[in-house]
């Protein structure tokens, strides 16, 4: 937790809106992931927050990276290209997976010289990869249950388990190599049973593939979805890790490399947003505060991520149910309709929102002419 005194000092120094990233929190999250899932290599999902300073801290801590666009790829590659040539030879397998199952032809052409590991989930993608990125290794994205996830992904991506081995063989016949299997249980998944079902499905597909003569797979990517501790309703990560470790040990021999794509889990608790009250009104008997940040900026997760961020005030006072609105003229710019805040807050007073590091500032725009929050890094 960043001390309130530090947040207030930074806001006074830099102005608001402000997005404060604590790199010690990043390192703690990564260390926790490695502690409880020692067999799993963490490939940070860069889309959760692509700030280069965040990527650098996780890279230095030992993380690998899941990228889903060429700009994300280049952010990570900036660090990899500084490796000594000998260490760089197999960097792609150790440091990056291009985990967007659908890729433009131009993207595949740009990726091909790096001999990357890429995901796919359909026959058309095999044709594209064969033509534009024949040096790529493949991982098949499988459709799995997303029950209880805050953001469901299975309707957009993933091959049906029943066609998985056919897709392995089709890629093999096209002269490509399928290195393994991947899945994603949905973002912020609090239903741990999703992982159990997905791992068992994956094990059955590995077995079917072997039975049909395809024995080249040695990678399992268990995706993301690891829930960030937004509140006390989220069960501890160690409980989920215990379940995953049990199933991995039971179902997959040691020679199978296990990857994961944690994004939210690694970065959510690392940042705090600080905003200033710029307006105050009573509407239909309800107190409304207007702040200089909103859903087109740091609080974009309200729209895109189904997330509900809470506010705390620096000024004390008796609380009441309030609404909090962003600064733009768009009626969509509603940060929260139900917040417990002091009723005595004044124009110019500061509010802060914790655990806002993931899928927030990453989606900021300049809508209505309002700039994104200034980013400040501490404990780098």
Look at residue 153 in the predicted model and tell me its pLDDT: 59
pLDDT in tens, 264-310: 999 999 999 999 999 999 999 999 999 999 999 999 999 988 888 99
Look at residue 146 in the predicted model and tell me its pLDDT: 73
Specify the 3-state DSSP secondary structure of 378.
Answer: strand
Tell whether 64 and 15 lie within a shared domain. no
**What ranges make up the beta strands (E) of 237-353?**
257-260, 271-283, 286-291, 312-313, 319-325, 334-342, 350-353
Cis omega (within 30 of 0) for bond into 378? no
pLDDT in tens, 96-106: 999 999 999 99
User: How many angstroms from the chain centroid is the CA of residue 120?
Assistant: 19
Domain boundary among 268, 288, 303: 268
Q: Is residue 359 within 8 Å of residue 266, measured between CB atoms?
A: no
Q: How far apart are CA 357 and CA 377, in angstroms?
A: 12
Active site residues: 329
Q: How many helices (H) and strands (E) does the chain have?
A: 13, 18
C-alpha dihedral sign at 150, 242, 356, 353: positive
Tell whether 312 and 175 lie within a shared domain. no
Quickly count: other Cβ atoms within 10 Å of residue 42's Cβ. 26
The DSSP secondary-structure symbol of 293 reads -
Look at residue 86 in the predicted model and tell me its pLDDT: 60
Look at residue 92 in the predicted model and tell me its pLDDT: 59
Residue entry with tokens 């020679």: 255
Domain boundary among 234, 250, 268: 268
pLDDT in tens, 147-206: 655 655 566 788 999 999 999 999 999 999 999 999 999 878 888 999 999 999 999 999
Q: Would the pLDDT of 142 be above 70?
A: yes
Tell whether 168 and 313 lie within a shared domain. no
Tell whether 264 and 275 lie within a shared domain. no
Residue entry with tokens 């490939």: 43
Tell whether 252 and 316 lie within a shared domain. no
Q: Is residue 373 within 8 Å of residue 364, measured between CB atoms?
A: yes
Q: How far apart are CA 252 and CA 202, in angstroms?
A: 10
Q: How many CA atoms lie within 13 A of 319 on its CB side?
A: 13
Burial 101-112 (b: 16+ CB within 10 A, else e): bbbeeebbebbb
Largest CA distance in the chain: 71
Q: How many domains does the chain have?
A: 2
For strands 64-67 and 117-120, give the pairing. Answer: unpaired
Tell whether 183 and 250 lie within a shared domain. yes
Look at residue 187 in the predicted model and tell me its pLDDT: 79
Using pLDDT thresholds of 50, 70 and 90, give the confidence band for residue 83: low
Using pLDDT thresholds of 50, 70 and 90, give the confidence band for residue 89: low
- Domain carrying residue 47: 23-268
Ramachandran angles phi, psi of 67, nearest 5°: -115, 155
Q: Which residues, 6+ apart, have CB-to-CB distance to 85 below 8 Å?
A: none
59-63, 80-84, 166-170, range with the lowest pLDDT: 80-84
CATH classification of the domain holding 36: 3.20.20.10
Please, what is the average pLDDT of the chain? 93
Tell whether 291 and 329 lie within a shared domain. yes
Look at residue 80 in the predicted model and tell me its pLDDT: 76
**What ranges make up the beta strands (E) of 102-204?**
117-120, 137-142, 149-151, 177-183, 187-189
Q: What is the mean pLDDT of residues 140-147?
A: 84
Q: How far apart are CA 374 and CA 344, in angstroms?
A: 27
Tell whether 9 and 66 lie within a shared domain. no
């Amino acid at each position: 937790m960043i001390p309130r005194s530090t947040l207030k000092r930074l806001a006074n120094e830099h102005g608001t809106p402000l997005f404060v990233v604590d790199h010690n929190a990043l390192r703690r999250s990564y260390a926790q992931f490695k502690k409880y899932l020692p067999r799993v290599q963490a490939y940070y999902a860069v889309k959760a927050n692509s700030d280069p300073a965040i990527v650098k801290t996780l890279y230095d801590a030992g993380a690998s990276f899941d990228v889903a666009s060429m700009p994300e790829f280049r952010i990570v590659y900036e660090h990899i290209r500084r490796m000594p040539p000998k260490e760089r030879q197999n960097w792609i397998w150790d440091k990056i997976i291009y985990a967007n199952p659908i890729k433009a032809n131009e993207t595949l052409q740009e990726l091909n010289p790096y001999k990357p590991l890429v995901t796919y989930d359909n026959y058309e993608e095999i044709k594209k990869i064969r033509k534009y990125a024949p040096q790529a290794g493949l991982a098949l994205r499988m459709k799995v249950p997303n029950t209880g996830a805050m953001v469901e992904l299975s309707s957009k991506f993933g091959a049906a388990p029943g066609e998985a081995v056919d897709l392995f063989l089709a890629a093999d016949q096209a002269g490509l190599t399928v290195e393994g299997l991947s899945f994603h249980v949905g973002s912020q998944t609090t239903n741990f049973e999703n992982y159990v079902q997905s791992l068992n499905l994956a094990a059955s597909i590995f077995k079917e593939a072997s039975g049909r003569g395809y024995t080249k797979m040695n990678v399992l990517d268990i995706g993301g979805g690891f829930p960030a501790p937004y509140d006390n309703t989220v069960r501890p990560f160690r409980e989920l890790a215990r379940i995953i470790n049990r199933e991995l040990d039971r179902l997959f021999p040691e020679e199978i490399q296990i990857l994961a794509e944690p994004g939210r889990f690694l970065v959510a608790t690392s940042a705090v947003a600080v905003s200033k009250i710029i307006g105050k009104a009573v509407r239909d008997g309800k107190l409304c505060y207007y702040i200089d940040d909103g859903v087109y900026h740091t609080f974009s997760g309200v729209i895109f991520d189904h997330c509900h961020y809470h506010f705390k005030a620096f000024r004390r006072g008796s609380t009441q149910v309030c609404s909090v609105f962003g600064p733009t003229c768009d009626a969509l710019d509603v940060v929260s309709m139900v917040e417990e805040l002091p009723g005595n807050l004044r124009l110019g007073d500061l509010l802060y929102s914790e655990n806002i590091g993931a899928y927030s500032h990453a989606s900021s725009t300049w809508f209505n002419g309002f700039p994104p929050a200034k980013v400040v890094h501490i404990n780098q």
